[in-house]
A and B are shown apart, each in its own frame.
Chain A
């Protein structure tokens, strides 16, 4: 079976896949990185968003073959309980998630934005998160938390 060399959350991972177009989403989940969520498999909801070389991408739309050679970061790699990313701290402080199924993707999209623009405006935040759907209606808190994480009033 063909294998692929990935770099995930700073570690080298070799994964086997019978097909080169297996979505990165399933590769990550098979590695136990289940913070990345399956929402639609169509690139329409953002639940599976991860960073590839610092850019937010929907992992259901990136094949394992295309993910080779890129530095992939998932929510687990962004921070931890003992060393949380500022976005994670802010999302917790603002008590953002309800069901939380969209939260991982929201944080990763926001991380992609902050990597490019340290002090985004609220409009920048809304636009960067436009692809990310939330059904529980946690949107207001998402915007506030991203602003707070960038050191601005949410």
Chain B
């Protein structure tokens, strides 16, 4: 297949409209370099320590950047070239870009944990700085000048004093650097940036709006067949019998059965859909899931836990001084789905001696060993190539679909595309895990926290497990990895405020009710929901305004600035919560939360205004205010898009989302049983991005998510005077809370 190419104008205008920065854009003009996904370039050096693994200076004066992190719509395809172009000293329009191909790009780790820019981008910045230093040294020899008298600009190294320079291509075109990344290679001074910090348009956007973008769902190979996997009616069920005659009437359908792996294959997609629907099979009865209505108790009383004190700071005052209020509360965040808009899909071409898999996986490198293992091939004979799919937010079904396709391709000896159904995706995508938190604390009349103790019950991560067990190999009885990987879900369990004594204890659960996986901002939406709700409860107990309470306890000046910005944005009225008008039919409230992501990365202060309808129990988020500091901003519009998306998606998770299941299977397998936000639910958003060009850049895709739950809960408390501590805040739950039942 050929690379899609898009015409965008790179020199652009910025227009301020309605207070928002709008990216000026034209469809005609300069032709950018192709984004060659699905192409099969010859394998190249991919050692993550080598400059050549990241950068190639081409004979035509362009530079190709090879990035192991992938773009799922979060904007790396422009942000990474901006970083590289800036540091090299070349126009961003001269940068070609290849992502997520195990044969072409270095292993920079999975695209997860908001690490695309802060780790992946910084490796590429250092590679570019090393390359620039090397090219300056080469030019210095040729020009008989000192390196310090030369500067890199517009794709050439030229004397600072003026005069002719030497183009990158002449210095190095098509040859290798043969250098390791030099951690001491000097970085460009941010004050001199001309590319980083600009809202350049994302190059994939035009194709997505014109219908020319290539998704893995569109990718096709000659001779490719269409497969659908028939999953059992119960998780872990064994296949008893298959009635192949049930699909005999469908032309060209083949049934593939490997142990408990059952699939149909057809020449065209619709026939495969019909065959999967019509195939009759008998499965064993299994009912191994816990009762959903007892899930909290099940987690709390699980005998198989390992306890770990994550944080112990200071010592509690004993006995507590007078005028101290002590509180305790329990919070619960349920299992949630990635709920990708498009069900997972992949294409695989498995031959006797090698395999190529086209996948939207966020971890092509991480998966190579796994795929090699269940296919019984040497790792260097397995290639995974990233092609964008429907957005996923951690690890949805993309990798399972890829494994399904690989198993089927091997079984039939032809390339196979596997497309999951909606019910497959909602039913079988790995889920964000359940999280239960108990918090107890003590606060004095001045709002000083004397004691804080968090206990959390969460599924453990199996040490060193890069992936999660895949459904296809598991059902087929092939060599599969074993364990749990819910992501780093124990962070941010302690408050960001001064406290005399803090303890965080984790009760690690050996099992999870449904297969867990990292889901956007893994664990932090729940932990920050609990911590920032409880901080609000302490503030209310002390009779102190929530913002005043936080400012008294916060030392981080960047955090303080964000909270003050949010207070100014929402014209915050200083008073304790709840507000006065809690008896009305429609009550409004405001609340806020503050998050320092992982206590070391992006900082967010978030305010919300909600309206609660007492009769229906419906919460409407009316306005959201977000002040956001992710350090150096590479592409402001890209950051803004991520923050908008993080806020909206998490409002959806907080108000609506919970995976429903019985003792055998997931029941919420479509958009009516697992609703997400629609246009009528939209709040107004005001986002204030604080740029700190001299600070390291941190991720912007996750931190805002972590702040949403508590801001919403605190605003609701301000409105109705009742605490919601169980996600989602459905109308039924709100009504129960208003009627004095436990939330």
Q: Which residues of A contact B (CB under 8 A)?
A: 17-19, 22-23, 26, 29-30, 33-35, 37-42, 44-45, 47, 74-76, 79-82, 84, 88-89, 91-104, 107, 125-127, 129-130, 132-144, 153-154
Question: Which segment, of B212-220, B443-451, B473-481, B574-582, faces chain A?
Answer: B212-220
Which of B16-24, B175-183, B292-300, B688-696 is near enough to bind chain A?
B16-24
Contact of A88 among B209, B388, B670 (CB under 8 A): B209
* Interface 9-mer from B308-316, B336-344, B611-619, B626-634: B336-344
Interface hits, B249-302 → A, CB 8 Å: 251, 268-271, 273-274
Asked if B391 and A99 sit within 8 Å, CB to CB, the answer is: yes
Instruction: Please indicate the chain A residues that have their CB under 8 angstroms from the CB of B644 in the complex.
Output: 137-138, 140-141
Cβ-neighbour of A135 out of B205, B422, B649 (below 8 A): B649
Residue pair A98, B678 in contact (C-beta under 8 Å): no
Additional A-B contacts beyond A47-B342, A81-B206 (16; CB < 8 A)? A75-B210, A75-B211, A91-B205, A92-B25, A92-B205, A92-B206, A98-B391, A99-B341, A99-B391, A100-B213, A101-B215, A133-B678, A137-B645, A139-B679, A140-B644, A144-B18
| Candidates A33, A102, A136, A140; contact of B682 at CB < 8 Å | A140
Q: What total of A-B pairs shows CB separation below 8 Å?
A: 191
- Quick one: which of A76, A91, A98, A130 has the most chain B CB within 10 A? A98
Known: A30-B268, A81-B7, A136-B73. Contact between A95 and B341, CB under 8 A?
no
Given the contacts A38-B342, A92-B205, A95-B201, A126 and B18 also touching, CB distance less than 8 Å: no
> Does B680 lie at the interface of the complex (its beta carbon under 8 Å from any beta carbon of A)?
yes
* B682 contacts A139, C-beta separation under 8 Å: yes
Shortest Cβ distance from residue A29 to the other chain B in the assembled complex, whole angstroms: 7
Among A38, A88, A93, A130, the residue within 8 A (CB) of B22 is A93
Of all chain A residues, which has the CB nearest B25? A93
- In the complex, which residue of chain B has the Cβ closest to the Cβ of A93? B25
In the bound complex, residues from chain A placing their C-beta under 8 Å from that of B341 are 39, 45, 47, 99, 101-102, 133-136
User: B460 contacts the other chain (Cβ, under 8 Å)?
Assistant: no
Separation in Å of the B212 CB from the closest CB of chain A? 7
Cα distance, A104 to B390, chains bound together (Å): 12
Which residues of A lie under 8 Å from residue B217 when comparing CB positions? 34, 37-38, 101
**How far does the Cβ of A149 sit from chain B's closest Cβ, in whole Å?**
11
Contact B208 A103 (CB under 8 A): yes
Chain A interface SS verdict (over half):
loop
Q: Which residues of A contact B23 (CB under 8 A)?
A: 93-95
Considering the complex, give the chain A residue whose CB is closest to the CB of B5.
A81
B391 partner residues in chain A, CB cutoff 8 A: 98-99, 101, 135-136
Q: Are A42 and B422 in contact (CB under 8 A)?
A: yes
Q: Are B682 and A97 in contact (CB under 8 A)?
A: no
Choose among B25, B641, B646 the residue with the greatest number of A CB atoms under 10 Å from its CB.
B641
A-B contact pairs, 24 of them (CB 8 A): A22-B270, A34-B215, A35-B211, A37-B217, A40-B422, A42-B670, A44-B671, A45-B671, A81-B210, A84-B210, A98-B72, A99-B390, A100-B73, A101-B341, A101-B390, A129-B679, A135-B649, A135-B676, A137-B647, A138-B644, A139-B648, A139-B679, A140-B648, A154-B18
Task: Tell me the smallest distance from the CB of A31 to a CB of chain B, in Å.
Answer: 12
Q: How far is the CB of A19 from chain B (nearest CB, A)?
A: 8
Q: Are A34 and B270 in contact (CB under 8 A)?
A: no
Tell which of A93, A139, A143 touches B24, judged by Cβ atoms closer than 8 Å. Answer: A93
In the complex, B510 has a CB within 8 A of chain A? no
- Chain B: how many interface residues by the 8 Å CB criterion? 67
The answer to whether B645 touches A18 (Cβ under 8 A) is no
Chain B residues whose C-beta falls within 8 Å of the C-beta of A42 in the assembled complex:
422, 670-671
Query: Which parts of B403-430 form the interface with A (CB within 8 Å)?
Result: 419, 421-422
Q: Are B671 and A133 in contact (CB under 8 A)?
A: yes
B202 within 8 A of partner (CB): yes
Report the Cα distance A154→B22, complex, angstroms. Answer: 11
- Shortest B342–chain A CB gap in Å is 4
Give a binary string over B725-740; 1 marks a CB under 8 Å from any A CB, 0 the rest: 0000000000000000
Contacting pair A76 B211 (CB below 8 A):
yes
A91 touches B209 (CB 8 A): yes
Most buried by A among B7, B73, B209, B268: B209
Using a CB-CB cutoff of 8 Å, which residues 1-53 of chain B contact chain A?
A: 6-7, 17-18, 20, 22-25, 27-28
**Which of A74, A79, A137 lies at the interface centre, i.e. has the most chain B CB atoms within 10 A of its CB?**
A137
* Known interface pairs A34-B218, A44-B671, A44-B672; A126-B679 also in contact (CB < 8 Å): yes
Contacts of B86 in A (CB 8 A): none
Which of chain A's residues have a CB closer than 8 A to the CB of B20? 144
> Does B204 reach chain A (CB closer than 8 Å)?
yes
* The 7 residue pairs across chains A and B that have the minimum distance between CB atoms: A35-B211, A99-B391, A100-B208, A137-B648, A137-B645, A98-B73, A99-B73
Measured between beta carbons, the chain A residues less than 8 angstroms from B685 are 140
Question: How long is the Cα–Cα vector from A63 to B641 in the complex, in angstroms?
Answer: 37
B664: interface (CB < 8 Å): no
A104 to B338, alpha carbons, bound, how many Å? Answer: 21
**CB < 8 Å: which of A26, A97, A140, A154 contacts B17?**
A154
User: Are A41 and B421 interface neighbours, CB within 8 A?
Assistant: yes
Asked if B637 is at the interface of the complex by the 8 Å CB criterion, the answer is: yes
CB contact between A39 and one of B201, B212, B422, B682 (< 8 Å): that residue: B422
Residue of B nearest to A83 (CB): B27
Instruction: Return A3 CB to nearest CB of chain B, in Å.
Output: 15
Task: Select from chain A the residue with minimum beta-carbon distance to B645.
Answer: A137
Cβ of B356 within 8 Å of any chain A Cβ, yes or no, is: no
State in angstroms the CA–CA spacing of A136 and B211 once bound together: 18
B74 in contact (CB, < 8 A): yes
- Whole-angstrom CA separation of A137 from B640 in the bound complex: 11
Residues of A with C-beta under 8 A to B269: 26, 29-30
Across the interface, which residues of A come within 8 angstroms of B672, CB to CB?
44
Residue of chain B at shortest CB distance from A94: B22
Residues of chain A within 8 A of B340, CB atoms compared: 101, 135
Query: Are A81 and B6 touching (Cβ within 8 A)?
Result: yes
The docked-state distance in angstroms from the alpha carbon of A135 to that of B426 is: 13
Contact A37 B342, CB 8 Å, known A44-B670, A95-B641: yes
